[in-house]
Amino acid sequence: VEIEDIVDVRKGWKTDTFNKMAHKVEKQRQKTSEKIVDESACFSVIYGRTKQTVDLVAPNAVLADQWVRGLNHIITVLKGLHQEQRFERWLKQQFDDADVDKSGCLNFEECLKLLNQLNLKIPKSLVRRMFENANTNKNQKEGEEVLDSQEFVVFCMNLMSRPEVKQIFTWYAKHSGEMEASELHEFLLKEQKQQMTKEDCFSLIEAFEQSNIKEAWKISPMGFTNMLMSQEFEIFNSDHAVIYQDMSQPLAHYYIASSHNT
């Protein structure tokens, strides 16, 4: 369970699983004098959009209380982070997951693979140029240039830097630096002239937002940029990409529209 996915931490028997267990414990107490599970040593972690639970029993009540207070403190700190700080933290987590050999660095091909996994469709030549610009430490591994985690964050930020998109995003994401579904709906209606429902906006967030904020139906600048750069939002009608005309005839058999510019 990722820390960012935790919704709540509850002390005692306050979930369905523990409630079922409480009845069994009560019956067991009536039959034996042996020590039974103490409710004060139990706590539950609730996480994800569907509010799944991990129910835990600590060795004693003191340790359970330390866990509950510690986890709640971390959650409070994370909620207080600025959106950009949370996004950097998320990028570093993606870096760590992609760093399979735990060398603390990624080469160009590993970065390219990770970008594809993050659904970032960027020309390879641009990725290469940004990779070289971000490699300020000039570290190498087995003769190849590599990026450490901090350089990787800079690398991703540079790739996503689109001033015109950022301006639009900031205009509609009025409060937190994260665009809510209602604000995305307003953008699509006013700027794109697209008649979409709230459910359509939820689907877009689900498709293009990679970080955990999509659990709250929000989209980050990265997800927003990714959405606008996707095929779904291209001006070109993809239906016209299919050539249905007969192109096997001699050139002289076709009429050609021309102008003094072409």
What pLDDT, on a 0 to 100 scale, did the predictor assign at position 147? 92
- pLDDT at residue 170 above 80? yes
pLDDT in tens, 67-82: 988 888 787 766 655 5
- Quick one: average pLDDT of 145-172? 85
Residue holding tokens 């830097």? 161
- For the stretch 6-10, contacts whose Cβ atoms lie closer than 8 Å and that sit 24 or more positions apart, written own/partner, are 6/45, 6/46, 6/47, 6/71, 6/75, 7/46, 7/47, 7/48, 7/51, 8/45, 8/46, 9/43, 9/44, 9/45, 9/46, 9/67, 9/68, 9/71, 9/72, 9/75, 10/43, 10/44, 10/46, 10/68
Answer with the one of 54, 80, 106 that is the final residue of a domain. 80
pLDDT in tens, 102-148: 888 999 999 999 888 887 778 888 889 999 888 888 888 888 889 99
- CATH number of the domain encompassing residue 232: 1.10.238.10
Answer with the one of 23, 51, 80 that is the final residue of a domain. 80
- pLDDT at residue 202 above 80? yes
Q: How far are the Cα atoms of 40, 58, 65 from residue 62, in angstroms, in the given order?
A: 9, 9, 5
Q: 247 lies in a domain?
A: no
Same domain, 10 and 74: yes
- Quick one: average pLDDT of 13-40? 74
Q: 151 lies in a domain?
A: yes
Read off the DSSP letter of residue 146: E
What pLDDT, on a 0 to 100 scale, did the predictor assign at position 183? 93
Structural domain boundaries enclosing 30 = 3-80
What pLDDT, on a 0 to 100 scale, did the predictor assign at position 10? 87
- Quick one: average pLDDT of 24-50? 76
What pLDDT, on a 0 to 100 scale, did the predictor assign at position 158? 82
Supply the pTM of this predicted model.
Answer: 0.45
Q: 252 lies in a domain?
A: no
- Quick one: average pLDDT of 13-35? 73
Same domain, 68 and 91: no
Sequence-ordered alpha helix ranges (H) in the chain: 16-31, 61-80, 83-98, 108-117, 124-134, 149-160, 163-172, 181-190, 198-208, 221-228
